[in-house]
Structure 1
């Protein structure tokens, strides 16, 4: 809700300058980048719920600080506190704890879909609500929503027992070496860094340009609504084509090309509504596609023994992109002008798109269920350990009492004879 309006409405705050507004927009990402991994690790030690409760309380406090503030520095402090409620990793871990192995992918897809829906709705509601409530009022709405989330987490969401997964005895150095060996995690980290840099940078530029084109802030909502509908209509065929033809890397590179085209179009200076609808549709189609494909690519490349390390690098890069995209754009915009900022973003998007070439062949994910001869817990654990040591096995989870082991494997690397040594392959 804040992205479309903070650049414009924040100018009325005491001490507001363009660099400080950029810092206010981006500092949320810095707090997230610093705390996401430590709080995820803390949730492993003390439990998911305490971390989630604490994170929501901190987020609410940050929202109230920003809401009651009449100065730019109060806004910056409030945004930093909001980001310090970095509970995404704990929430996703709790979702994994509460879901059965065979349903886990559906659970994660539902959460991902809710995030995307919230993003779409908030872009539309932000300009509308800000007309009635002002920028400070938006923060009170956000605090209220977070309070509702806290109540739901305390009263509706089960506590859940953390999954008793078998882990190989690997040191952090061994995990880091495996994750970084081929450099592919850094390619994906660069890609997510760039798209979140570009997203925040665009919202440092576009709301002001829309006003200069004759569209009042209240009109921005229906522009974003139209753009999001059109971008989904453009993105879905691209996603389906990538799945059908197994061209995941190529479709991500196409998404970066689409973003570059959108950014280049801003040099024209056109102001007609059709121009803005086309440009913003292209940008959001590329962004939304990459926002969906990049994290799934990380999960597919790295098995459960290494996924936490890989996602830690990935998430930190994502939030750093948002921080630097806001703070540096705000600082450099008065010095470089619109053209300089556009050149910078175009160069970054082109670099990230070209870097994806180095991903090479991506895994062909297949789900396999192994029926064990014995149904006791010890047999399940032994089968998990044996499976995790096999090349191509990304995840192995045993359901106690069923005598089954659920595997996610790279179809192009797995050896069927190795799997058959574990037990009977179902289906």
Structure 2
């Protein structure tokens, strides 16, 4: 092929079709709305829960934050398989019904135990694997990485929005009102899944051929699964102690913590966007992953020494979210690149399961450490886990281009 022909072919090959664009945007919006509903509790619950019975028990607070992750971890693969058989739309709508009901249980809860029960019920609606598989169904291999990155970025955006909106909502409507908003978001997701996402053909042949042992025997996929486990575990553990620290050092109440979170997220996204753009255009995904994990480990290791300084903690929190947002956008794209086509959907199911387990483990671990009065220990354990993740990530092989796959394990 001549250079002129190659140039003529490239734009068409890389451009999303109208259906791909609409499906990707709607699915990213669906994922973002659902994750916002899950994340809204994280930035304020450790402080807001002190107003209800059982809310001064850090262990139960951590369990309430992470409970949905445990049931999600158990349900991701079964519901992903159900979506293969009965269709993505039906499974996602049913999952969002469970999410809404769980949110209502939390809104009506009179103590922390009922919130744990409601969050557990929310986790039964584990539809992340079905959503990501729907993205794979709706896009060609040449543009699938871009669509997956769009969904991955929506998670970071959702968490960013939750940091700002959560304190405002609790300040205006209280903890119960926050859960009513979460339930409303679940209903919005239900409507998006039912009516807004275009119908696309599913790749049934690839899904039937998938075997769990293929995914579990693929070392690079295991490395990515471990990475998302640590990423969300560290995040949940951090926010067992961070709201209280920021409130004490800065003199903020629950409803005004957004004044801290808004500039943190704004500054971190300003720094993150060029890094993600550079990674995608230069195709340096592995180096970007290693650099971001290293940066996160260093930031977490510095936090114990500066946990009495608001300015220092604020700066470190900005740096933490620069790394977090890069990794949140980068890792789903890497899974899509690394997984061979024959079991891409199942690989995404295991990836989402690892993420959910990280949420549960981080909430519980952070709660147990905080209950023993050891805030620095939360940071040190998080730093150690992230350093271990770096060692694991260094063993990854060079990442193939979009549309390519590797059969070697």
Specify the alignment match of 1:133 in structure 2. Answer: 173
The offset of 1:139, in angstroms, is: 0.4
Aligned residue number for residue 83 of structure 1: 123
Q: Which moved more, 1:101-110 or 1:339-348?
A: 101-110
Distance apart, 1:14 and its partner CA: 1.5
User: How far apart, CA to CA, are the structure 1 residues paired with 2:268 and 2:395?
Assistant: 28
Which deviates further from its counterpart, 160-169 or 26-35? 160-169
Stretches of structure 1 that go unaligned for 5 or more consecutive residues are 366-407, 414-427
User: 1:189-234, CA deviations, whole angstroms, 9 ceiling, x for partnerless residues?
Assistant: 1111111111001100110001110232233212211111111122
Is residue 404 of structure 2 the alignment partner of residue 409 of structure 1?
A: yes
Q: CA deviation at 1:270?
A: 5.3
Segment of structure 1 superposing worse, 122-131 or 45-54: 45-54
RMSD: 2.4
Within the alignment, does 1:296 sit opposite 2:333 as a pair? yes
C-alpha displacement of 1:237:
3.1
**What are the residue-to-residue correspondences of 1:243-322 with 2, within 5 Å?**
243-269=280-306, 271-322=308-359
Moved more, 79-88 or 144-153: 144-153
1:326 matched residue in structure 2: 363
Return closer, same or farther for 1:155/1:364 CA change in 2, 3 Å cut-off.
closer
Asked if the contact 2:149–2:329 (Cα under 8 Å) also holds between the matched residues in 1, the reply is no
Name stretches of at least 5 consecutive residues in structure 2 with no aligned partner: 1-39
User: Is the deviation greater in 62-71 or in 324-333?
Assistant: 324-333
Mapped partners of 2:132, 2:355: distance in 1: 16
Q: Which has the higher helix share?
A: 2
Say yes or no: does 1:194 pair with 2:230: yes
Q: Which of residues 363, 386, 391 is equivalent to 1:354?
A: 391
Between the aligned partners of 1:239 and 1:99, the Cα distance in structure 2 is 21
Q: Deviations over 1:33-61 (max 9, x none)?
A: 11111101001111222212211111010
Residues of 1 paired with 2:47 and 2:323: CA distance? 25
Deviation at 1:290? 1.1
Equivalent of 1:215 in 248, 252, 269: 252
TM-score, scaled relative to structure 1: 0.79
**Structure 1 counterpart of 2:51, from 12, 16, 19:** 12
1:93 maps to which of 126, 133, 137:
133
- Deviation of 1:122 after TM superposition, in Å, equals 1.8
User: Helix, strand or coil for the counterpart of 1:69?
Assistant: coil
Q: What's the secondary structure of 1:344's corresponding residue? A: helix
Larger strand share, 1 or 2:
1
Tell me the number of residue pairs that the alignment of Structure 1 and Structure 2 aligns: 366
Per-residue deviation, 1:273:
4.6
Taking a change above 3 Å as real, the CA distance of residues 22 and 53 of structure 1, as seen in their structure-2 partners, is same
- Aligned 1:360-399 pairs, distance under 5 A: 360-365=397-402
Which protein, 1 or 2, shows the higher relative CO under an 8 Å CA cutoff with sep ≥ 6? 2
Question: In 2, distance between residues paired with 1:23 and 1:326?
Answer: 6
Change (3 A) 1:191 1:55: same
Displacement of 1:242 in angstroms is: 3.1
| Secondary structure class of the residue paired with 1:86 | coil
**Residues 102 and 350 (structure 1 numbering): CA distance in 2 closer, same or farther, change over 3 Å?**
closer
- Does the 8 A contact of 1:5 with 1:135 survive in 2? no
- Using the TM superposition, name which of 211-220 and 293-302 deviates more: 211-220
